[in-house]
Amino acid sequence: MSKKKELIFDTVILGGGPAGLSAAIYACRGNIKTAVVDITMFGGQPGNYQEIENYPGFAVSGGFDLMEKFEKHADKFGVEKFPMQEIQKVDLKSEIKTIESLDIIFKCKSIIIATGAKASKLGIPGEKELFGKGVSYCAVCDGAFYRDKVVCVVGGGNSAVEEACYLTKFAKKVYIIHRREKLRADKIIQDRAFNNPKIEFVWNTIPLEIRGENNVKSIVVKNVITDKITEINTDGIFPYIGFTPNTELFNGQLEQTPQGFIETDAYMQTSINGVFAAGDVRNTPLRQVITAASDGATAACSCVKYLEQNQIKIPV
């Protein structure tokens, strides 16, 4: 078996989305030897959606284009990049921390966790089997496949209602299936949906099963007040019921909310010295590109200070 390569850094940033790339810019400018490691290519979630219109300075930008700018900016200050790294284990607790991928052992004095979050699953029969065959977690990525078709969005928050409105650009009808009789989405977003003739609300209803063989054909739902079970014919299902943080590697090592989001203070310091968290992965009231970038900047500056105050030596 070939021996793994060992690399030494002052800090390793896990995740190359808005939080991680912003942290990389600030860490490199703070003159610390910095690596950014991602399980896929860099860019994070914005790399997958078409437009972003609320990042200040860019009234409308492609998500991918904006992230390319973040990445080039980090390159300018000399970050070392490791895309497509499947991380197997992480030791956060020791003073010298280690991150092990299939072929590299990263040894470092500090870690910034910026691994983001992924869409929560409905956990019902048919969801896994029909993923990519009508079940999608990204309206912007897949909406165009539903021209003149019928789709269902599950959820009642901002993402669900915004994505439902977006889907009406293509679909002839969009059902919003929500377990309550009121939406959680902001008023302005709700108004847009209520005024959209293509949207029909299915209130007080939970999904039970997604049916179809090679493609989604229908969703079986239950009214939670009357217990009545019905089947809605549909070509696509878009669940938007919240997010689960990408923390499988760290669970149990640091303080987290019951949903798994990492607890930090205002300096992005986690419950472990020398470990910082930034962006969607942490317990935060707003999950957006700008807040992730802001967290990344704070985390990197706190990290630089931590390294100044703790003269840690890694034996070579």
Ligand X SMILES: Cc1cc2nc3c(=O)[nH]c(=O)nc-3n(C[C@H](O)[C@H](O)[C@H](O)COP(=O)(O)OP(=O)(O)OC[C@H]3O[C@@H](n4cnc5c(N)ncnc54)[C@H](O)[C@@H]3O)c2cc1C
Contact residues toward ligand X (CB under 6 A) are 14-20, 37-40, 44-46, 49, 52, 54-55, 87, 114-116, 138, 140, 246, 249, 279-281, 287-290, 292
Shortest Cβ 237–ligand X spacing (Å)? 15
Cβ nearer to ligand X, comparing 37 with 177: 37
DSSP string across 252-299: TTS-B-TT-PBP--TT-B-SSTTEEE-GGGB--S--SHHHHHHHHHHH
Q: At what angle do helices 18-29 and 289-309 cross, to 10 degrees?
A: 40
Cβ nearer to ligand X, comparing 17 with 236: 17
Q: What does the DSSP 8-state code read for residue 2? A: P
Cβ nearer to ligand X, comparing 18 with 134: 18
Cβ nearer to ligand X, comparing 10 with 38: 38
Shortest Cβ 161–ligand X spacing (Å)? 12
Shortest Cβ 249–ligand X spacing (Å)? 5
Instruction: Say whether 6 sits in a helix, a strand or coil.
Output: strand
From residue 19, give the alpha-carbon distance in Å to each of 16, 153, 167: 7, 28, 28
Shortest Cβ 51–ligand X spacing (Å)? 7
Residues β-bridged to residue 129: none
Cβ nearer to ligand X, comparing 63 with 134: 63
Please give the positions annotated as active site.
138, 141-142
Shortest Cβ 143–ligand X spacing (Å)? 10
b/e map 237-260, b = 16+ CB within 10 Å: bbbbbebebbbebbeebbebeeeb
b/e map 24-45, b = 16+ CB within 10 Å: bbbbbbbebbbbbbbbeebbbb
Shortest Cβ 42–ligand X spacing (Å)? 6
Cβ(165)–Cβ(140) under 8 Å? no
Cβ nearer to ligand X, comparing 76 with 118: 118
DSSP string across 12-58: EEE--SHHHHHHHHHHHHTT--EEEE-SSSSSTGGGGSSEE--BTTB
Cβ(243)–Cβ(263) under 8 Å? no
